[in-house]
Structure 1
Amino acid sequence: MKLIIQIPCYNEAEVLPTTLRNLPRRIEGIERVEVLVVDDGSTDNTAEVARAAGADHIVRLKRHAGLAEAFKVGLDACLRLGADIIVNTDADEQYKPEDIPTLIAPILRGEAELVIGDRGVAEQPNFSPLKRRLQTWGSRVVSRAAGIPIPDATSGFRAMTREVALRTNVLSHYSYTLETLIQAGNHRFAITSVPVRTNPPRRPSRLMKGIGDYLLNSAVTIVRAYTMYRPLRVFTTIGLALIALGMVPLVRFLIFYIQGRGSGNIQSLILGAVLLIVGFQTILIGLVADLINFNRKLLEEILYRERLQSNAHTKAEVTAVPPDLPSPPGV
């Protein structure tokens, strides 16, 4: 069984040697451990440092595309290299590399297909009180969208099987953590969390510019993913809420009409009628979106089968793959 540890990097030349040096190279139950570094268009010598520090494979993106794109490119490279299990971690060693065997243990036991490293966000000493509350609340929202309990939805320290990687499609340009969990939950993969340890932060986050930026981007990602995978529920809920609101002025108008004062309350009738019409239209949009959702599932299945065929051809040639892999066209 082959494990590949992928590390998305952007200008991490200073910290990368320490991170690579501390990664485990022998794990019980794993025949081969390799390290893949995704250089996300760094302006320093991240790729050269990674090669000198012992990275087995390096993917260099021509431009800085962001964490989500780097994660997606890394998954594709790991699949091409024949990985059976993929572990994703940070270049700044936020997560303790000694916990990688703990992270993959549920997969080796056959208990899970996707494992999330739980930092204990509710009591994380490196987080401010506000960030702890936001992380806890956000994880609950994602848990509802994914249909599974996830105590630390934003954790980037995770392990997945080859099957999960083949089924993963990252559409967000911000981060992969929330979207991929919702996808995995809707694909009914076996998902679990294990407690992991963290190191004190070495520098401020480059992904999150502030609390406002985090809230906005996380909310957009959750709403988009939830609407994509459960459109009928979303639009039906909105439509029924509008219909319920529309009934209030209509009932008010009917009461006044029965009392003989309906002519002075036409505005209630108009408002109620508009809300009812919009509510029914929203439900119809949900039906159309649900049909589009079925079409998306068909497209995902086609993409999955194409990935299977493509990786079946490359897996037999893994030993011939050079250590510096080319980035996908346009990246």
Structure 2
Amino acid sequence: MKLIIQIPCYNEEKTLPVTFQDLPKKIDGIDEIEYLIINDGSHDKTVEVAKELGIDHIVSFPNNRGLAKGFMAGIDACLRLGADIIVNTDGDNQYQGQDIEKLVQPILSGKSEIVVGDRQTDSIEHFSFLKKKLQKLGSWVVRLASNSNVTDTTSGFRAYSRDAAMNLNVLSKYTYTLETIIQAGRKKTAIKNVKIGTNEKLRESRLFKSMWGYIKRSATTIIRTYSMFRPLKVFLILGSLAFGSGSLLGIRYLYFLFNGQGDGHIQSLILASILITAGFQLGVFGLLADAIAANRKINDELLYRLKRMEYDKINNKELEEQLYLKEVAVNKEKL
């Protein structure tokens, strides 16, 4: 059983040593533990520090591409390297490395495919009152959208089984945390929460410049991702609202018309016609989007099978090379 711990990094030369020293070197049930960093266009000495620390694998971007791109690049590299379990943590030492054992245990026991670390945000001292409440509200919305029980949906401290990692398809350019939970929940992937601790803040967050900017981007991600999986429901709700509003305006116009006051309410008739037409069109769009969503499910399944074939082929080839080298070494000893 091989575990790879991946660490997305952007200018983390000061915090990476602290993060790495806190990571586990041995876990019961795990045969191998390897470490991988994703250098997201750092312009400090992050890569040099990683090499000095003895980190096994380094994936580098020439420029900053964002957390979502870095996360998926790390997942791809880990799968190619033969990881059975992948743990994602942060390079700023936000999470406690000792809790990685808690994350992997539900996967080792076969009880879960994805495990999300619950930071228990109410207990984090450097989180403001507003941030705590917004985190709770956001997690509640994501639970509804994903039909899952994830407590801390923005936590980046997660463990993935090999199969669950191959099912990830992140389209967001901003962050992966919300999108992957909605995807997993809608695909009926087994997700478990594990309570974890956090360390003292070493630096300010670089993920967003303002709270409202974060809310706007997160809301966009939730709506878009949910719409991809339940488009018919979304369009029917919007269409029903438009059609219902138009119908009410139409009834209002008829009331005035029968009372001899129709001439003064032509605007209501025009608006009613527009809303009823828009409602009908949204319903048709919903049917078309539902057909596209069904096709997307087929494409996701095909992509999963292609990934499985590709990664298994790579790992089988490496295994054959290792066995060959061992056989050559044994024959040399005999000679």
Q: Which TM-score bucket, shorter chain as reference?
A: over 0.9
Indicate the residue corresponding to 1:120 in structure 2: 120
Paired AA for residue 111 in structure 1: K
CA-to-aligned-CA distance 1:83-125 (integer Å, 9 cap, x gap): 1110000011100001001111111121111010001123432
Indicate the residue corresponding to 2:296 in structure 1: 296
> Are the equivalent residues in 2 in contact too, given 1:82–1:318 (CA < 8 A)?
no
SS for the counterpart of 1:291 is: helix
Aligned residues: 321
Partners of 2:56 and 2:150 lie apart in 1 by 32
Partners of 1:119 and 1:140 lie apart in 2 by 15
1:228 aligns with 2:228: yes
Partners of 2:315 and 2:187 lie apart in 1 by 25
Indicate the residue corresponding to 2:6 in structure 1: 6
1:147 aligns with 2:140: no
Matches within 5 A, 1:1-331: 1-318=1-318
Scaled by the length of structure 1, the TM-score of the pair is: 0.94
CA-to-aligned-CA distance 1:27-60 (integer Å, 9 cap, x gap): 0111111111111111112112112102111111
> Are the equivalent residues in 2 in contact too, given 1:66–1:173 (CA < 8 A)?
yes
Paired AA for residue 204 in structure 1: E
Pair 1:126–1:300, CA change in 2 (3 A) = same
Partners of 1:270 and 1:301 lie apart in 2 by 46
Give the drift of 1:256: 1.7
Give the drift of 1:317: 4.3
Structure ranking higher on relative contact order (CA contacts 8 Å, 6+ apart): 1
Bigger Rg, structure 1 or 2: 2
> Are the equivalent residues in 2 in contact too, given 1:179–1:222 (CA < 8 A)?
yes
Partners of 2:314 and 2:121 lie apart in 1 by 40
> Are the equivalent residues in 1 in contact too, given 2:80–2:314 (CA < 8 A)?
yes
- Give the superposed CA RMSD: 1.4
The answer for unaligned runs of 5 or more in structure 2 is 323-335
CA-to-aligned-CA distance 1:175-220 (integer Å, 9 cap, x gap): 0100011111111100111110001111110111110211111111
Identity, % of aligned pairs? 49
CA-to-aligned-CA distance 1:139-189 (integer Å, 9 cap, x gap): 011111111122110000000101111010111111010001111111110
> Are the equivalent residues in 2 in contact too, given 1:88–1:156 (CA < 8 A)?
yes
